Amino acid sequence: MDRIYNVGIIGGGISGVVTALQLAKYEIDSVLFEQKNSVVNGPPFCHLHAGGNLYPDISDEQCRVLMKQSIEMARLFPQSIDERPTFISIPKSEKYEVAKIESRLEMLVEYYKQLILKDPSNEILGSPKDYYEIYSKEDLKVLAKQPTVKRPNSSDEWMSNTIKLIDYEKLKTPVIIVQEYGWNLFRLGAQAQLALNKSDNCSLKTNTLVTNVKDLRNQNLDYNWEICTNEKVYKVKYLVNSCGFKTGQIDEVLRLNAERLIEFKAAYVSKWQPIPGLIPELIFHGERGTPHGMVQLTPYCDDYYQIHGMTKDITLFENGLIKLKSSEEQPEFKDDIKQKLDCGWEEEEVKSRTKNAIDFVAKFVPLFKSANVGGPPLYGAQQISGNDLSLRVGEVSFPSKSYARSEIIKASSALTVANQILNKIQDEEIIPLINTKPNQNLLLDSISKDEIDKMACELAVQRGYPEALSQLVIEKKQNNFQEIL
C-alpha cells in the first residue's frame, strides 16, 4: 500500500524547509517537493531585519515583529548570520527625519530588553545598550581622524572606517550604526539541505515539480490530498503551499484564489578594490521607486559587495509589479522578466544594471566608482498578500480545512509560519498534542560548521556566484569572533 504522509509541503524555499525542519523536530513525517536541484534557491536575502531599520515608513509594530522573528531565525541558523552592523543615513535631499528613526530605535531597545528578559538566549544582537549608536557631525569629524581598523570591534570603529569613505556632507546628521546583521542565504540553504538529507522524518524530493493537487477531503479516506508529480502521486493528510510567488498556481487548482501583489527585484554583485578596514552594510535612505530610491551596499568577503538601489533601472523593474485580484487567475510577468526568471539574464543587461548600481553607490561613496561587475545578479519574484506594497511582515493563512498557504515577505517570518502550521495540524487532530517544546532543533544542530562551509561554497559555485559569497565577513567560532580579512 502507498505510504500516507502527515504533511505534504510544496516549495523548498526558506518557508518550506523551515516548516519541514520544525515538523521533523517533533518526529512528524512530511514530504517536501522542490522543483530545483537544491533548496533555498528562490529570491535572495542578505539582511537580517532585526528591527526594520531599512524601512523608515513601516509601523512600530512591524519593527517589533521583524526584530522578534529575526532573533528566532538567527538562533535556529547561527552559522548563517554575519555579525557586522548596518550604517543608516538620510541624504539631505530626502524627506525622512533622523529624530523619528531615533525615537523608534529607543522603542526597539526597550523591546529587545523584554525579549532578553523572557529568554536570555535572545541576546543575539549584543547588549541592548549597544543596539544602536548615534553620531553627530562633530563626532564624525573626530572619528574621521582615527586610524582605520582592519577588523572593527566597536560601533565607533565601524563608523570611523565608514566615514572616511563617505561624502557625509550629503547626509543629514546625526547618522546611526545599528546591530542589524547580514544573513547568508547559501549557508542557511546548506545547513537546511544537509539536515533534511539526514532526517528520518522528512522525505526531500528535489528536482521534483508538482504538477497537480487533487482534493479528496470529501471522500472519507485516510488522507485528504493527492500531490501529483511527473513520476508519482503522493498521499498526504495536510497540504502546505509554500511555492513563493507561485502559491497562486496551487490556489488556482483548488479554486482558492486570493488578492496579492507579486514583485520582481534584483540585487547586483560587484567587486571593488581592497580597502584597509571592514565596513558595515551601508544604507542611504530614499523614496522607493523614485530616481533617488534607497541605496544598500552589503559587504561580503574578498572585496565583493552586493548592491540594491530602489529605482526602476537598478533593483526595481518597469512592469515588475503584478497586482492580482482574488477573482483573477495568476497572471504571468511580461516576456523580459519571464525570460530572466526562466532562463537567466542577458550579459549586456547584467553589465548595464550593475554599472547603474555602482554609479548609484558612488554618489555617496565616491571611490566606489572603480568597482566592477563581480558576478550575476541575485534576483527573484516575491509576493505580498493583499494590496499593501509597504507591508514587510507576511505570514500564513488557512483558507480551507487541512490547507495552509505561506506568504512570507521577509525570510525571517519562516519560523513563525512553521509554528502556526504546527499548531494547526494539532488543532485538526492530524497529530496528537505536543506537550514539550524544546528550543533547540537537534537535527540542525547536528550539522557542523565545516559541513556548512563546504556545502555553502558548492551551492554558490553551482549557482554561478563567487565562492566568497558563501562566507561570513565576521565569522562566528566557538563564541569568539574570528577575523578572516
Ligand X SMILES: Cc1cc2nc3c(=O)[nH]c(=O)nc-3n(C[C@H](O)[C@H](O)[C@H](O)COP(=O)(O)OP(=O)(O)OC[C@H]3O[C@@H](n4cnc5c(N)ncnc54)[C@H](O)[C@@H]3O)c2cc1C
Name the site residues for ligand X (rule: CB under 6 A).
10-16, 33-36, 41-47, 49, 209-210, 242-246, 265-267, 379-380, 382, 406, 408-412
Q: Shortest gap between Cβ of 462 and ligand X (angstroms)? A: 14
Burial (CB count within 10 angstroms: exposed 0-12, middle 13-18, buried 19+), residue 215: middle
> What DSSP state is assigned to residue 148?
P
Contact 264, 381 (CB under 8 A): yes
- If the CB atoms of residues 163 and 322 are measured against ligand X, the closer one turns out to be 322
- If the CB atoms of residues 20 and 210 are measured against ligand X, the closer one turns out to be 210
The 10 Å Cβ neighbour count of residue 293 is 21
**Alpha-carbon distance 61 to 12, whole Å?**
29
**CA 311 to the chain's CA centroid:** 20
Helix, coil or strand: residue 8: strand
Give CA separation, 313 vs 11, 225, 291, in Å. Answer: 30, 44, 9
- If the CB atoms of residues 109 and 391 are measured against ligand X, the closer one turns out to be 391
Q: Shortest gap between Cβ of 125 and ligand X (angstroms)? A: 15
- If the CB atoms of residues 402 and 412 are measured against ligand X, the closer one turns out to be 412
Q: Shortest gap between Cβ of 338 and ligand X (angstroms)? A: 15
Q: Shortest gap between Cβ of 427 and ligand X (angstroms)? A: 23
**Alpha-carbon distance 220 to 234, whole Å?**
17
- If the CB atoms of residues 104 and 340 are measured against ligand X, the closer one turns out to be 340
Q: Shortest gap between Cβ of 407 and ligand X (angstroms)? A: 7
Angle between helices 185-198 and 449-462 (to 10 degrees): 110
- If the CB atoms of residues 311 and 412 are measured against ligand X, the closer one turns out to be 412
**Alpha-carbon distance 225 to 210, whole Å?**
13
- If the CB atoms of residues 13 and 91 are measured against ligand X, the closer one turns out to be 13
Q: Shortest gap between Cβ of 173 and ligand X (angstroms)? A: 26
Q: Shortest gap between Cβ of 296 and ligand X (angstroms)? A: 9
**CA 361 to the chain's CA centroid:** 22
Q: Shortest gap between Cβ of 18 and ligand X (angstroms)? A: 8
Q: Shortest gap between Cβ of 438 and ligand X (angstroms)? A: 24
Phi, psi of 99, rounded to the nearest 5 degrees = -60, -35
**Three-class secondary structure assignment of 398-430:** EEECCEEEECCCCHHHHHHHHHHHHHHHHHCCC
Residue appearing with cell numbers 482558492: 256
- If the CB atoms of residues 165 and 384 are measured against ligand X, the closer one turns out to be 384
Among 184, 183, 169, 182, residue whose Cα is nearest residue 87: 182
Contact 192, 32 (CB under 8 A): no
- If the CB atoms of residues 279 and 393 are measured against ligand X, the closer one turns out to be 393
